[in-house]
Amino acid sequence: MEIKKCVRCGQFFETVNDVCNNCLAKDNKDIGKLKDYFSYGYVAGKVSLGDISSNTGITIKNLNRLIENSEFEGVYVPETLSQNNNIDNKKVVAKV
């Protein structure tokens, strides 16, 4: 065990994880939300981190970190969508 600074709340704690026990529970809850999001209505390259953040209530900072989780291997979410992608978006995906 080593002393680490929680990447989510900034508290110092003793663990093998990157977040403290309080935040581990929050992370797991957010991962659940993300899994739901990705299994329902997610089209690769058509949503930005901002879209996911406003849909799930998870902050961009936490999204960037959680998306690195092995659960989401192969998932790529751009920070913002380019203008061209937005045009494609209207053509291909109906707004929910």
Count of H-run helices and E-run strands, the chain: 4, 2
Nearer to Zn ion, 3 or 94 (CB): 3
For residues 92 and 46, the answer to whether their CB atoms sit within 8 Å is yes
Q: Which stretch binds Zn ion (CB under 5 A): 8-16, 40-48, 55-63, 74-82?
A: 8-16
15's enclosing H/E stretch is: strand 12-15
Nearer to Zn ion, 21 or 80 (CB): 21
Q: Which stretch binds Zn ion (CB under 5 A): 2-10, 36-44, 52-60, 71-79?
A: 2-10
Cα distance between residue 83 and residue 42, in whole Å: 19
Nearer to Zn ion, 20 or 34 (CB): 20
Q: Which stretch binds Zn ion (CB under 5 A): 7-15, 37-45, 48-56, 63-71?
A: 7-15
Cα distance between residue 25 and residue 31, in whole Å: 10
Q: Which residues bind Zn ion (CB under 5 A)?
A: 6, 8-9, 20, 23
